[in-house]
Chain A
Amino acid sequence: MRFYIRKLATFLSTVLLVSVITFLVFQILPGDPAEIVLGVDADPHQLVELRKTMGLERPAAERYASWVTDTVTGDFGTSLRYQRPVADIVAERLPVTLSLSVMSVGLTLLIGLPLGIYIARKDGQLSSMLLSVFTQLGLAVPSFWLGFILILVFSVTFKLFPTYGYVPWSEDPVGAFKSMFLPSLALAIPGIAVVIRYLRNTLLDQFRMDYVRTARSKGLREKSIMYRHILRNSLIPVLTIVGLLIADTLGGSIVVENVFALPGLGNLLITSIGTRDLPLLQTLVLYIAIIVVLINFVVDILYKVIDPRIRLKR
């Protein structure tokens, strides 16, 4: 129980710090946030007006406190550009980014896990060479460029998928899947490279463990050794990677959404920078960061569920 309480405390304190960093970057570092919104050569009267609407005349600590209280109570502020509650805008865009992330992580695991297991079991020279070429390339390629190449191959040449744009799932599930497939794949490929490489190394390490020798000496078949014994022991390191992967996917989607013109959070983020929509920007950043911290929290809890040995240590 102490484990969970401690982890919850870590989660909450990290969230708090994340909010402080976000506030610092957007409210303190620029000096005058109103100037950021209106530009350096803004009309002084407008500046004064805006400072008043943004509540900038109050001290920073007070502003931070009220921002946090508002956020906690569900008031995410109002977008300057859209003149609508930020929460509503985010709610509209969230499904896009969410389905992009889920599909991309899904593709990563669906392709990466079996390939990693396969390559670890058939550890030959040719396969390990092909693997290292693939993983090295996968790690080096900018995912948005990969998006271009996928468009070129699958949309332009083979006309299998739309070039860009978004179809909501509620209108046309097949069309939605198609519109999401290429961006998800572009995001997934570096992750697939990581998963394969990592899983293979982990499994090969596990093969050498004493408990595997014991399992063999019991007369178990290789298959049941793999699935009943080794895989579970490999889950912890792989889980770490999956946690990082989800965060990476969220980060990568900022760029990839713009390549494929998908109206998600990443796209909204870049638009809000262009329109200097500070309240929207600030909330979006906090929102994404909290999702990442939440994922880390869940991963920490899952460790404990999988491995009873895990205790508090740091």
Chain B
Amino acid sequence: MANTLLAIDELDVAFTIGGKQYPALRQLSFEVREKERVGIVGESGCGKSLTSLSVMGLLPESAAITRGQISLAGKTLSAGLREEWHSTRGRQVAMIFQDPMTALNPLMPVGKQIAEMALTHLAVTRKEAKQMALEMMAKVGLSRIEQLYGEYPHRLSGGMMQRMMIAMALICQPKLLIADEPTTALDVTIQAQILALLREMNRSTGTAMLFISHDLGVIREVCERVIVMYAGFIVEDAPVQDILENPKHPYTAALLQALPSVEKRGQALYTIPGRVPPLTERGGGCPFAGRCPRAFGICHTITPELDTGMDGHRVRCHLYVEGRLCG
């Protein structure tokens, strides 16, 4: 089995608003192994993006890690040390974002922005950095690269820009690539191309991937393992196939039910009733209890533990003990 690359251990992140603390991530523990493709799925407001920002050390000013730690390749990432972040971000972990149209500096030629990444982290000359950028642009499937190098972002399409972002993210051969909803803002046909590219890059470069999406269908395309988050908690964590065939948590089941598929053609699409409770309205008990069709007494008072079954399938639900359904 491959070594552990990213380890998040009992992480709590909280927002401070008007002097009061609101926990946004709770008891977050998971690992990403080398070369692994892990997805995080959940509705908006579940803490997916916050998880990725914690790993990048890019939490907004009002949020902070209150407990737990993150380590990358055996080294603890400490929020306090700026210098460490500069050599980690981009070099060890790189990130691509939801909207490629705004993620690039509008006033700098795109090629330069890619080369800048190499210049920052690698001991290369400007010329070498440019050469690396051009090679990387070719690798992510862009053509007319010499010409594209000097173009400004507004002249490119969304798909091209996301390819640029991927080229930029991978130019320093990071160990981990975080992709935060990388295809959400793109056309469906482009989406498929970008997903295929990400899979291909993972295979050819061995960069592990943490893929964040609200769409289980997209995650299914790319990932080997999926972590389901709800209201700041991990509620389920298992191999993709396992989850698709045998979802344990009622929330996962609901997400699956809401997924369009060939068999469900012609039927009205299922939607999960209710909404993710906002930060300020989160109390004790199971976070999903309020919307759960199978909730019973204890669910409203005691937060279930994240329980690991024999096969490593983790689930946070009172219905399961040691991975087996009871009650």
Contact = CB atoms under 8 A, between A and B. Distances in A.
A and B touch in the complex (CB under 8 A): yes
B58 A217 contact: yes
Interface in B11-47: none
B152 A309 contact: yes
Interface string A202-235: 0000000111011111111100100011001100
A306 interface: yes
A59 interface: no
A306 B108 CA distance: 10
Contacts of B85: 219
Interface string B54-81: 0010100000000000000000000000
Interface residues of A, number: 21
Name A's interface SS. helix
Of listed A219, A307, A309, residue having the most chain B CB within 10 A: A219
Given A210-B103, A232-B107, A307-B107, A217 B56 contact: yes
B106 A309 contact: yes
B88 interface: yes
B107 A306 contact: yes
Given A210-B103, A229-B105, A218 B168 contact: yes
B154 interface: yes
B106 A218 contact: no
B104 A217 contact: no
Of listed A220, A228, A232, residue having the most chain B CB within 10 A: A220
Contacts of A233: 105-107
Nearest to B83: A221
A219 B58 contact: no
Nearest to A232: B107
A214 B104 contact: yes
Contacts of B95: 217
B120 A219 contact: yes
Nearest to A218: B90
A228 B107 CA distance: 10
A216 B107 CA distance: 17
Of listed B91, B105, B152, residue having the most chain A CB within 10 A: B105
A214 to B, nearest CB: 5
Contacts of B104: 211, 214
A15 to B, nearest CB: 31
A166 to B, nearest CB: 43
A209 B117 CA distance: 19
B152 A308 contact: yes
Given A218-B116, A218-B168, A309-B154, A213 B88 contact: no
Contacts of A307: 106-107
Interface in B97-119: 97, 99, 102-108, 116-117
B94 interface: yes
Contacts of A221: 86
Interface in B160-182: 165, 168
Given A210-B99, A213-B97, A214-B97, A219 B106 contact: no
B87 interface: yes
B220 interface: no
Nearest to B168: A218
A219 B116 CA distance: 10
B102 A219 contact: no
Interface of B: 56, 58, 85-91, 94-95, 97, 99, 102-108, 116-117, 120-121, 152, 154, 165, 168
Given A216-B89, A218-B90, A219-B88, 18 more contacts: A209-B102, A213-B97, A213-B103, A216-B58, A217-B56, A217-B58, A218-B94, A218-B116, A218-B117, A219-B85, A219-B90, A219-B121, A221-B86, A228-B108, A306-B107, A307-B106, A308-B107, A309-B152
